[in-house]
Amino acid sequence: MAISREDLQREIDRGLAAGGESTRAFCRQVAREPVKWQLHPWGDDGGGFWVVGVLGDRVVWFNDIEGGFNVSTFEREGEIPEDQYFCNQDELHWSLEKLRTGEGQDLGPPRAP
């Protein structure tokens, strides 16, 4: 089930509180008003995934299937490429740090059992 805008805001607020002032300052630089971007096929049922920040060709988005934030690259505004679906369950402050430094581990797409 897709996360509501209100529940997403609670996740954002919680992540920013956990990250401290440097995280909040960086977030102010890259934050976007949350908007849904397409990521086929995983985001189709929920109308896409909420994007909350952009820096260059990288985007921070909330994966409501996995229950966490991810960092992915993109080529076209409004669309996250299929190969950029990750199963991370990161809190926002972790994803913002990954966006800032370019470091971190992506857990990859789901695998068949």
pLDDT digits (tens, 9 = 90+) for 92-113: 999 999 998 877 656 555 554 4
Q: Residue 63: in which H helix or E strand, if any?
A: strand 58-63
Q: Is residue 28 part of a domain?
A: yes
Burial 8-29 (b: 16+ CB within 10 A, else e): beebbeebbeebeeebeebbee
* Among 25, 61, 31, residue whose Cα is nearest residue 46: 61
How many CB atoms sit inside 10 A of residue 33's CB? 6
Prediction pTM value: 0.89
The list of the chain residues with pLDDT below 50 reads 112-113
Residue 60 within a domain:
yes
Task: Tell me what pLDDT residue 102 has.
Answer: 79
Give a yes or no: residue 113 inside a domain: no
Position 105 scores a pLDDT of 57
Tell me what pLDDT residue 113 has.
43
User: For residue 58, what are the domain limits?
Assistant: 5-101
Total tally of structural domains belonging to the chain = 1
Query: Is residue 111 a part of any domain in this protein?
Result: no
